[in-house]
Amino acid sequence: MDETDRLGRVRTLTLGAIRDEIDPNDMLNIAKITLNWAIRRTI
């Protein structure tokens, strides 16, 4: 899975979270994925 696919998946999950009520664990996973991606982009 390349960066574009990963980011697209995060966006899809985030939009899903906005649309529906979501499990807090899912929101935490989205935050971790986004943070890890941001850190990797910065290095």
Kindly report the backbone phi and psi dihedral angles of residue 26, in degrees, each rounded to the nearest multiple of 5, phi listed first: -65, -40
Residue 41 CA to residue 18 CA, distance in Å, equals 25
Q: Which pair of tokens denotes residue 2?
A: 């390349």
Tally of domains in the chain: 1
Q: Residue 17, exposed/middle/buried by CB under 10 A (0-12, 13-18, 19+)?
A: middle
Q: pLDDT means per 10 residues in the chain (43 residues)? A: 74 72 76 90 80
Please tell me the predicted confidence (pLDDT) of residue 1: 55
Domain that holds residue 29: 3-41
Q: Which pair of tokens denotes residue 1?
A: 């899975």
Please tell me the predicted confidence (pLDDT) of residue 17: 66
